[in-house]
Protein backbone atom coordinates (compact mmCIF):
# COMPACT_ATOMS: atom_id res chain seq x y z
CA UNK A 1 0.00 0.00 0.00
CA UNK A 2 2.98 2.34 0.53
CA UNK A 3 4.63 4.18 -2.30
CA UNK A 4 8.23 4.34 -3.31
CA UNK A 5 9.90 7.71 -2.81
CA UNK A 6 9.48 9.84 -5.90
CA UNK A 7 6.25 8.20 -7.00
CA UNK A 8 3.17 10.32 -7.52
CA UNK A 9 0.88 10.55 -4.49
CA UNK A 10 -1.95 8.05 -4.20
CA UNK A 11 -5.40 8.83 -5.54
CA UNK A 12 -7.53 11.16 -3.45
CA UNK A 13 -9.11 9.57 -0.44
CA UNK A 14 -6.00 7.55 0.34
CA UNK A 15 -3.15 8.61 2.50
CA UNK A 16 0.43 7.93 1.51
CA UNK A 17 2.91 6.29 3.87
CA UNK A 18 5.50 8.85 2.76
CA UNK A 19 5.07 12.32 4.16
CA UNK A 20 8.09 13.86 2.46
CA UNK A 21 9.33 13.35 -1.08
CA UNK A 22 12.59 14.81 -2.30
CA UNK A 23 13.00 15.60 -5.98
CA UNK A 24 16.31 16.94 -7.23
CA UNK A 25 16.49 18.69 -10.57
CA UNK A 26 19.65 19.66 -12.41
CA UNK A 27 18.99 22.78 -14.43
CA UNK A 28 20.51 23.21 -17.87
CA UNK A 29 23.41 25.59 -18.31
CA UNK A 30 22.44 29.17 -19.00
CA UNK A 31 23.53 30.56 -22.37
CA UNK A 32 26.10 32.81 -20.67
CA UNK A 33 27.56 29.83 -18.78
CA UNK A 34 27.88 27.78 -21.96
CA UNK A 35 29.46 30.76 -23.77
CA UNK A 36 32.13 30.91 -21.03
CA UNK A 37 32.92 27.25 -21.67
CA UNK A 38 31.44 25.99 -18.42
CA UNK A 39 30.24 22.41 -18.33
CA UNK A 40 27.54 20.67 -16.34
CA UNK A 41 28.79 19.17 -13.08
CA UNK A 42 25.53 17.49 -12.06
CA UNK A 43 24.27 14.39 -13.86
CA UNK A 44 21.34 12.09 -13.19
CA UNK A 45 22.24 8.66 -14.59
CA UNK A 46 18.89 7.21 -13.51
CA UNK A 47 15.60 8.32 -11.97
CA UNK A 48 16.93 8.38 -8.38
CA UNK A 49 20.67 9.06 -8.58
CA UNK A 50 22.54 12.37 -8.71
CA UNK A 51 26.26 12.49 -9.49
CA UNK A 52 28.16 15.69 -8.72
CA UNK A 53 31.64 16.18 -10.15
CA UNK A 54 33.75 18.29 -7.79
CA UNK A 55 36.63 20.43 -9.06
CA UNK A 56 39.83 18.68 -10.09
CA UNK A 57 42.19 17.56 -7.39
CA UNK A 58 45.96 17.94 -7.41
CA UNK A 59 46.28 15.05 -9.89
CA UNK A 60 43.85 16.82 -12.27
CA UNK A 61 41.01 14.35 -11.74
CA UNK A 62 37.52 15.46 -10.79
CA UNK A 63 36.04 13.72 -7.78
CA UNK A 64 32.54 12.33 -8.32
CA UNK A 65 30.10 12.12 -5.42
CA UNK A 66 26.91 10.09 -5.80
CA UNK A 67 23.66 10.70 -3.93
CA UNK A 68 20.28 8.93 -3.99
CA UNK A 69 16.96 10.77 -3.76
CA UNK A 70 13.29 9.98 -4.20
CA UNK A 71 13.49 11.32 -7.74
CA UNK A 72 16.29 12.79 -9.83
CA UNK A 73 15.67 14.84 -12.98
CA UNK A 74 18.53 15.58 -15.33
CA UNK A 75 18.90 18.85 -17.19
CA UNK A 76 17.66 17.22 -20.40
CA UNK A 77 14.11 16.82 -19.04
CA UNK A 78 11.63 19.44 -20.19
CA UNK A 79 9.28 21.22 -17.79
CA UNK A 80 6.28 19.06 -18.73
CA UNK A 81 8.16 15.84 -17.97
CA UNK A 82 9.33 17.13 -14.59
CA UNK A 83 5.80 18.25 -13.75
CA UNK A 84 4.27 14.94 -14.86
CA UNK A 85 6.78 12.78 -12.98
CA UNK A 86 6.93 14.88 -9.81
CA UNK A 87 3.35 14.38 -8.72
CA UNK A 88 2.80 18.16 -8.52
CA UNK A 89 -0.65 17.90 -10.12
CA UNK A 90 -1.74 15.38 -7.49
CA UNK A 91 -0.40 17.61 -4.69
CA UNK A 92 -2.40 20.53 -6.07
CA UNK A 93 -5.51 18.35 -6.27
CA UNK A 94 -5.00 17.17 -2.70
CA UNK A 95 -4.65 20.78 -1.50
CA UNK A 96 -7.89 21.73 -3.26
CA UNK A 97 -9.60 18.82 -1.49
CA UNK A 98 -8.45 20.17 1.87
CA UNK A 99 -5.44 17.95 2.48
CA UNK A 100 -2.17 19.57 3.53
CA UNK A 101 0.30 19.71 0.66
CA UNK A 102 3.46 21.75 0.15
CA UNK A 103 5.85 22.03 -2.76
CA UNK A 104 9.06 23.76 -1.72
CA UNK A 105 11.89 24.83 -3.98
CA UNK A 106 15.20 25.15 -2.15
CA UNK A 107 18.60 26.10 -3.46
CA UNK A 108 21.15 28.84 -3.84
CA UNK A 109 20.67 31.86 -6.07
CA UNK A 110 20.80 30.84 -9.71
CA UNK A 111 20.26 27.15 -8.99
CA UNK A 112 17.00 26.91 -10.95
CA UNK A 113 14.21 27.29 -8.38
CA UNK A 114 12.23 29.83 -10.41
CA UNK A 115 12.97 27.95 -13.62
CA UNK A 116 11.46 24.79 -12.15
CA UNK A 117 8.50 26.35 -10.33
CA UNK A 118 7.41 28.85 -13.00
CA UNK A 119 6.47 26.26 -15.58
CA UNK A 120 8.31 28.18 -18.29
CA UNK A 121 10.53 26.16 -20.56
CA UNK A 122 12.67 28.55 -22.53
CA UNK A 123 14.01 25.69 -24.65
CA UNK A 124 10.50 25.19 -26.05
CA UNK A 125 10.46 28.79 -27.35
Q: Write out pLDDT tens, residues 18-32.
A: 567 889 988 888 899
Kindly state whether residue 9 falls inside one of the protein's structural domains. no
108 is in an annotated binding site: yes
109 is in an annotated binding site: yes
How would residue 34 be classed by pLDDT, with cut points 50, 70 and 90? very high
- pTM (global) more than 0.85: no
86 is in an annotated binding site: no
107 is in an annotated binding site: yes
SS3 category, 109: coil
DSSP 31-87: HHHHHTT----EEEEETTEEEEEEEE-TTS-EEEEEEE-SEEE-TTS-HHHHHHHHT
Pairing of strands 71-73, 23-25: parallel
48 is in an annotated binding site: no
37 is in an annotated binding site: no
Pairing of strands 49-56, 62-68: antiparallel
Kindly state whether residue 3 falls inside one of the protein's structural domains. no
CATH number at residue 38: 3.40.850.10
Say how far apart CA 13 and CA 69 lie, in whole Å: 26
Kindly state whether residue 36 falls inside one of the protein's structural domains. yes
How would residue 15 be classed by pLDDT, with cut points 50, 70 and 90? low
Expressed as residue numbers, the domain containing 76 is: 23-120
Domain total of the chain: 1
16 is in an annotated binding site: no
SS3 category, 20: coil
110 is in an annotated binding site: yes
- Residues 65-83 have pLDDT tens digits of 999 999 999 989 888 888 8
Is 74 within 8 Å of 29 (Cβ atoms)? no
Amino acid sequence: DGEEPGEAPMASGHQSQNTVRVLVRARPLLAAEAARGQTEVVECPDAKTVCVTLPSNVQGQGVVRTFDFGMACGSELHQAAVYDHSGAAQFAEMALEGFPATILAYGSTGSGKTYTMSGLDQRDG
